[in-house]
Amino acid sequence: MKITYERDTLLKNLLSPISKVAENCILVLNSKNTYCVVTSSDGGIVLYAQIDAINDEIKTEITLNVPNIKRFLQVFDCIEDPFIELNIESNHLAYESPEIKFKYFLLDNGVIETPPIKIDKIDALKFNFEFNISSEMLATILKGSIFTSDTNKIYFYSKDNKVFGELTDQATQNSDSLTFQIADVFTGSDLKQVLPINMDIIRLIGSIKRKNIKVSVNTENRVLLFEISGIDYKLKFIVSSLVK
């Protein structure tokens, strides 16, 4: 079976984000798209990544067990054609053009552990507080984190109908503090409690370099969803708030 991907979409919107979270992954192909759910090694970050890839020949879902996502990404980076046509064989993927050809062998089903969170659970999450973070604000926060290098946390809270983020560590005495107004508007009810998260998710999303990030919060379960999407892709990063 053959499937064709738009090169930049495959690399920038699927493989590269996945490679920043996990070492290996299970790609799932159906007639409309290719998607993947991965978790970070410590379980602190869950990523759902999906790109459009139409193939009416796929009648039931196909799984591709990729043993090393960074190597997988590197071999595709060698291809300069704007479209990549892959042959899906029983235990490997194959690509051939006049300039380059390769085989990439896959693992058997069951070797890579399936993430505990399911897509339907991600889609079923309900949120009661939402705001947007611009790429410029992300860059500013990351610059500010150098000042508060003794901590690795950011605390989200709302005040006067605005959203703020404080870089500090409220669990440590005499911790330096730097606060930014992150958004001048939000939807939903005021945050009745401060929500701290690990700065690793901010660094991760900042490295993807997109113009706008939608942040949705389930205040009851203290779950935050950072969503980046375009015409033919969507990325959903899910993290839980820290205790303090």
| 10 and 46 fall within a common domain | yes
Give me the pLDDT at residue 22, please: 96
115 pLDDT more than 90: no
Do 89 and 151 lie in one domain? The reply is no
Torsion of CA 69, 74, 75, 76, to 10 degrees: 90
189 in the same domain as 77: no
- 228-234: long-range contacts at Cβ-Cβ below 8 A with a sequence spacing of 24 or more? 230/13, 232/6, 232/9, 232/13, 232/51, 232/52, 233/9, 233/13, 233/14, 233/49, 233/50, 233/51, 233/52, 234/48, 234/49, 234/50
What pLDDT is recorded for position 105?
Answer: 97
Count of the separate structural domains present in the chain: 2
150 and 212 belong to one structural domain: yes
Amino acid at 132: N
Task: Classify residue 243: in a domain, yes or no.
Answer: no
Two structure tokens written together for 85: 């046509």
240 part of a folded domain: no
94-109: average pLDDT: 94
pLDDT higher than 90, residue 222 = yes
Q: Across all residues in the chain, what is the average pLDDT?
A: 93
DSSP letters, 63-99, are EEEES-HHHHHHHHHT--SSEEEEEE-SSEEEEE-SS
Confidence of residue 38 (pLDDT cuts 50, 70, 90): very high
102, 123, 144 - which closes a domain: 123
Q: Do the domain assignments include residue 242?
A: no
159 lies in which domain range?
125-235
179 and 189 fall within a common domain = yes
pLDDT at 35 over 90: yes
Q: Confirm whether 70 is domain-assigned.
A: yes
Q: Considering the domain boundaries, does residue 228 fall inside one?
A: yes
Supply the pTM of this predicted model: 0.93
Question: Is residue 134 assigned to a domain?
Answer: yes
- Quick one: 113 and 173 in the same domain? no
Residue 28 pLDDT > 90:
yes
Of 123, 152, 187, at which residue does a domain stop? 123
241 domain residue, yes or no: no
Q: What is the CATH number of the domain that holds 45?
A: 3.10.150.10
Residues 106, 57 within the same domain: yes
Question: How does residue 17 score in pLDDT terms, banded at 50, 70 and 90?
Answer: very high
- Is residue 93, in this structure, part of any structural domain at all? yes
pLDDT band at 56 (very low <50, low <70, confident <90, very high): confident
CB 197 within 8 A of CB 242: yes
Co-location of 148 and 185 in the same domain? yes
**Distance between CA atoms of residues 44 and 63, nearest Å:** 25
Q: Based on the fold, state whether residues 117 and 144 are members of the same structural domain.
A: no
Q: Which residues of 194-232 are buried (b: 16+ CB within 10 A; e: fewer)?
A: ebbbbbebbebbbebebeebebbbbbeebbbbbbbeeee
Query: Does residue 165 carry a pLDDT above 90?
Result: yes
Q: Which of 123, 158, 176 is the last residue of a domain?
A: 123
Residue 112 and residue 144 in one domain: no
